[in-house]
Chains A and B, each alone.
Chain A
């Protein structure tokens, strides 16, 4: 006690103060005893009846998920009311019989539902669970008419996730469904209960924490037939938070329609900010089907479709880039100082390396071409020559810097990086040395190289900005349930050390592709200078012959690419279209990019005239 003596010999003051607290405590104890007497003795009969035939049922009210908006505040995911069939396990008298009766009116899984109801009965028999969602009016009336025979079941209006644009935003938004057993087991902290709706894919999943509200509940007293008699208590649900995306619904629609009956991806971005304006993967699916509970046959059709509608091709599909890499080879040549843009190569239609012949896509050859002409005409021979001349490691390092073969860190899940090969990869992964034919193939984006459309977009955006690589993103702002706002500003991933004049040269050449008798004429827009590059990724070579892609079977047709930006002088939009087995990039992909850009500039003009963008 550090030598302090604080003797007090029962200070009467302290004793009296302690007594005060004791008296207060005693008073409160007596108050509690009085309350217990009131509840347990005076009101005993009342509570006894309530407890004995406890006719209070708990109806969980699913919280509406938060709204997802497009860049101009239009809802692209919202909530609608739907008539749902619910079961209250304690009131079910004859489960098999009641379900048999219901199966005549409602479609449900005859194997899953009985198990679900018995599981719910174990958890809390007084708490209702949803059995079938989004019933039609006729179904509702039949069930209501047969109430007496279905004591355990009733109809409740619940919140249903709805997507006003249907399949257009499928891969961005994803879809929702009832929490699976694994999700329930994993998410104890998130207070997930059986039957809760959770995001399963896309933003619905990755931003589920923001979108999910807090379920409400109603306690209702029911009569013997299970009909609601009196509302005892009502805790309203709380709607989840709001997410604003950078996607433009109008442009998304145009892109989606341009991809109709095709497989592939279209992505548009503001190269300066990384804001994604369009993110379409085709074929898509209608997420509304998941909201009402997807049927087995619908699900089977989705997962067995060879064109993989559930895959987001924009960031999960990897493809050989074809000629779209040519500008990056040219830029490597310029940056490394090994290729004079004025230097010419003669293209006679083929290129010889040892005893191997590499053909140019133009059988008769391009004649004498310099770098500008080679890009504009997409001359293969020029780039075979250049590819062989360049150090493959310098090429891959520049391409990766631009965004090819690396993750863009987009705010969507499941992104794949693809691959840009180099000598180290060849040595370490393939256990082999680098062969010079690989350098030749690298020149036209064939061989081991494969990239995602998003990676391609990032690479062309870095040309558009002169070396600023922005992180692509589609969530711009979110407002959480408690009102806290989170803004997502532009993030610069890296600044590439490209010389201004070199990038300017490449941009001029890309403008030439579209406007100077090049391969990308189909992307031309009146009044706005578009720059870009076509690509046709070969899947098969037919020995010794030039075969038009259109003459091949669909599965072995070439992939078509177009990547571009506009206006060339100061690019504000960058678009990539990749069409699986689309044939030639110039004819299949360029018009898609054109359509998206046209819509962008149309909207901009409308906004300029006071339309409000």
Chain B
């Protein structure tokens, strides 16, 4: 009975949009990786498994009891922080950037899950602090403190791109949690003012590290190489694209990470401006639906968490595409559902499941129009 009700209240548009995007991503993974000398299971098959597993995760998180997620928020957060510490310790031994944790059968990035955990914890915190005059300066201090924990742990990996997403999540959620306008601007200004100060305090080699953050250096030729080749791929796609499986940039291996972070370059080379517009519209529809659900939720925790999750997706989509188009430095941020990758797929499906779950609170109370006491 309950399951049936939950099924009926499932937000199907959300799920169908995610499924459509995953389908596009799967086709794209095939195109992007078919020329890679494959040893073992093809990435296409792997991605298919990730999508199926992801759907399982989606339904799992969307069907659990609504209160459970909020109650578990801190537990999840501390677990993820512990995992980030483990990653950092292992990373120290091996030297260099260490973001992955090996589980034997697959490796995953705890920093991906940390984003979701942070959103849930901040949602819980803000819903307790909310008041009708808007949040003040003192209300934000603990929120900043909470955010700095995963931020610093990830920044030390070092992965400044992912760390930056934590700050974007914080900023977006303070806006949704109705911070007073002046306080928000003041915090923003303080944050901006801290940057040059921090920069002056840093030693030369630390500055060099920041440059290395911005350029993850996964290829010896550095970020400039990625961007030029990526722009050629996108631009040469033209209005209608070269056609599926007819991209040359990707298959000639000009593109690094052609199936992960640069998946959009492969897509827009083959599908052109028209295809890119369709893909962007799909993303826009997904994110809009999320924001809509955030505003509809009848519970503050649900509103804030849904808003945080929507911002998280928005940030990933915008940063990744901007990076592929040469508008943003190369940072290791995947395109949700389209980029190849298990951690990313599972995290996104989990986020979506949580969103679908929390958004059910919009049915908790009768809508205002049907409320007999409303005028």
Docked complex Cα distance between A40 and B241 (Å): 9
Known: A21-B307, A126-B254. A41 touches B239 (CB 8 A): yes
In the assembled complex, which residues on chain B have CB atoms less than 8 Å from the CB atom of A21? 172, 175-176, 291, 307, 310-311, 314
In the assembled complex, which residues on chain B have CB atoms less than 8 Å from the CB atom of A182? none
Could you tell me which residues of chain A, from 385 to 428, have a CB within 8 Å of some CB in chain B? none
Q: Is the CB of B228 within 8 A of A47?
A: no
Known: A1-B67, A9-B298. A29 touches B95 (CB 8 A): no
- Of A110-118, A214-222, A327-335, the stretch lying at the interface with chain B is A214-222
The one of B238, B280, B365 that contacts A29, using a Cβ cutoff of 8 Å: B280
Docked complex Cα distance between A484 and B287 (Å): 44
Known: A32-B318, A35-B327. A44 touches B238 (CB 8 A): yes
Q: Is the CB of A47 within 8 A of B236?
A: yes
- Of B111-119, B192-200, B270-278, B349-357, the stretch lying at the interface with chain A is B270-278
Docked complex Cα distance between A483 and B307 (Å): 42
The one of B172, B204, B217 that contacts A483, using a Cβ cutoff of 8 Å: B204
In the assembled complex, which residues on chain B have CB atoms less than 8 Å from the CB atom of A191? 217-218, 220
In the assembled complex, which residues on chain B have CB atoms less than 8 Å from the CB atom of A29? 280, 283-284, 318
Known: A7-B365, A232-B228. A33 touches B311 (CB 8 A): no
User: In the complex, which of the residues B37, B127, B294, B368 has the most CB atoms of chain A within 10 Å of its own CB atom?
Assistant: B294
A496 within 8 A of B: no
- For B301, give the chain A residue with the smallest CB separation: A6
The one of A14, A26, A32, A209 that contacts B300, using a Cβ cutoff of 8 Å: A14
- For B283, give the chain A residue with the smallest CB separation: A29
Q: Is the CB of B273 within 8 A of A41?
A: yes
A436 within 8 A of B: no
Q: Is the CB of B301 within 8 A of A40?
A: no
Docked complex Cα distance between A217 and B371 (Å): 68
Q: How far is the CB of B342 from chain A (nearest CB, A)?
A: 18
B252 within 8 A of A: yes
Could you tell me which residues of chain A, from 311 to 350, have a CB within 8 Å of some CB in chain B? none
Q: Is the CB of B294 within 8 A of A18?
A: yes
Q: Is the CB of A8 within 8 A of B300?
A: yes
Known: A18-B176, A18-B295, A40-B238. A50 touches B220 (CB 8 A): no
Q: Is the CB of A217 within 8 A of B225?
A: yes
Q: How many A-B residue pairs have CB under 8 A?
A: 191
The one of A10, A15, A20, A25 that contacts B318, using a Cβ cutoff of 8 Å: A25
Q: Is the CB of B235 within 8 A of A46?
A: yes
Could you tell me which residues of chain A, from 552 to 611, have a CB within 8 Å of some CB in chain B? none
Q: Is the CB of A219 within 8 A of B228?
A: yes
Known: A47-B236, A233-B225. A20 touches B218 (CB 8 A): no
Could you tell me which residues of chain B, from 241 to 300, have a CB within 8 Å of some CB in chain A? 248-249, 252-254, 268, 272-273, 276-277, 280, 283-284, 287-288, 291, 294-296, 298-300
Known: A9-B365, A18-B307. A36 touches B225 (CB 8 A): no
A28 within 8 A of B: yes
Known: A21-B291, A40-B239. A214 touches B220 (CB 8 A): yes
Q: Is the CB of A44 within 8 A of B318?
A: no
Could you tell me which residues of chain B, from 209 to 251, have a CB within 8 Å of some CB in chain A? 209, 217-218, 220-222, 224-225, 228, 231-239, 248-249
- For A190, give the chain B residue with the smallest CB separation: B96
Could you tell me which residues of chain B, from 12 to 67, have a CB within 8 Å of some CB in chain A? 37, 67
Q: Is the CB of B280 within 8 A of A33?
A: yes
The one of A19, A33, A44 that contacts B235, using a Cβ cutoff of 8 Å: A44
User: Scoring B residues 118 to 144 as 1 if CB is less than 8 Å from chain A, else 0, what string do you get?
Assistant: 000000000100101010000000000
Docked complex Cα distance between A585 and B280 (Å): 84
A482 within 8 A of B: yes
Q: How far is the CB of A305 from chain B (nearest CB, A)?
A: 37
B106 within 8 A of A: no
Q: Is the CB of A51 within 8 A of B236?
A: yes
A39 within 8 A of B: yes
A48 within 8 A of B: yes
Q: How far is the CB of A447 from chain B (nearest CB, A)?
A: 44
Known: A18-B295, A233-B225. A125 touches B252 (CB 8 A): yes
- Name the interface size band of chain A: 35 or more
Q: Is the CB of B254 within 8 A of A39?
A: no
Q: How far is the CB of B125 from chain A (nearest CB, A)?
A: 13
Docked complex Cα distance between A13 and B303 (Å): 12
Known: A33-B280, A191-B218. A47 touches B299 (CB 8 A): no
B4 within 8 A of A: no
Q: Is the CB of A22 within 8 A of B249?
A: no
A122 within 8 A of B: yes
Docked complex Cα distance between A551 and B14 (Å): 95
Q: How far is the CB of A28 from chain B (nearest CB, A)?
A: 5
SS of B interface (majority)? helix
User: Scoring B residues 60 to 85 as 1 if CB is less than 8 Å from chain A, else 0, what string do you get?
Assistant: 00000001001100000000000000
A106 within 8 A of B: no
B94 within 8 A of A: yes
B105 within 8 A of A: no
The one of A36, A48, A484 that contacts B268, using a Cβ cutoff of 8 Å: A36
- Name the interface size band of chain B: 35 or more
In the assembled complex, which residues on chain B have CB atoms less than 8 Å from the CB atom of A125? 252-253
Q: How far is the CB of A123 from chain B (nearest CB, A)?
A: 8
A444 within 8 A of B: no
Known: A9-B365, A10-B298, A46-B235. A28 touches B318 (CB 8 A): yes
Known: A13-B178, A33-B280, A216-B220. A40 touches B234 (CB 8 A): yes
Docked complex Cα distance between A50 and B237 (Å): 12
Q: Is the CB of A36 within 8 A of B94?
A: no
A352 within 8 A of B: no
A141 within 8 A of B: no
Q: Is the CB of A14 within 8 A of B176?
A: yes
In the assembled complex, which residues on chain B have CB atoms less than 8 Å from the CB atom of A233? 221, 224-225, 228
B160 within 8 A of A: no
B203 within 8 A of A: yes
Known: A40-B268, A51-B232, A214-B217. A22 touches B291 (CB 8 A): yes
Q: How far is the CB of B53 from chain A (nearest CB, A)?
A: 25
Q: Is the CB of B235 within 8 A of A43?
A: yes
Known: A6-B299, A32-B325. A50 touches B236 (CB 8 A): yes
Could you tell me which residues of chain B, from 161 to 198, have a CB within 8 Å of some CB in chain A? 172, 175-178
Docked complex Cα distance between A126 and B253 (Å): 9
The one of B134, B221, B239, B249 that contacts A51, using a Cβ cutoff of 8 Å: B249
A58 within 8 A of B: yes
Docked complex Cα distance between A46 and B325 (Å): 15
Q: How far is the CB of B261 from chain A (nearest CB, A)?
A: 16
Q: Is the CB of A39 within 8 A of B234?
A: yes
- Shortest 8 CB-CB distances between A and B: which pairs? A47-B235, A483-B205, A217-B221, A51-B236, A215-B220, A235-B222, A40-B273, A39-B235
- Additional pairs, 9, CB under 8 Å, beyond known A9-B298, A17-B176, A22-B288: A10-B296, A29-B283, A37-B273, A47-B235, A50-B235, A52-B248, A124-B253, A219-B228, A483-B208
Interface positions of B (Cβ within 8 A of A): 37, 67, 70-71, 94-96, 127, 130, 132, 134, 172, 175-178, 203-205, 208-209, 217-218, 220-222, 224-225, 228, 231-239, 248-249, 252-254, 268, 272-273, 276-277, 280, 283-284, 287-288, 291, 294-296, 298-301, 303, 307, 310-311, 314, 318, 321-322, 325, 327, 365, 368, 371
Interface positions of A (Cβ within 8 A of B): 1-2, 6-11, 13-15, 17-22, 25-26, 28-29, 32-33, 35-37, 39-41, 43-44, 46-48, 50-52, 54, 56, 58, 60, 122-126, 189, 191, 193, 209, 214-217, 219, 232-233, 235, 482-484
17 contacts between A and B (CB under 8 A): A7-B298, A7-B365, A8-B300, A9-B298, A11-B300, A13-B134, A18-B176, A21-B175, A22-B291, A35-B327, A44-B239, A51-B249, A54-B232, A124-B253, A126-B252, A217-B220, A482-B209
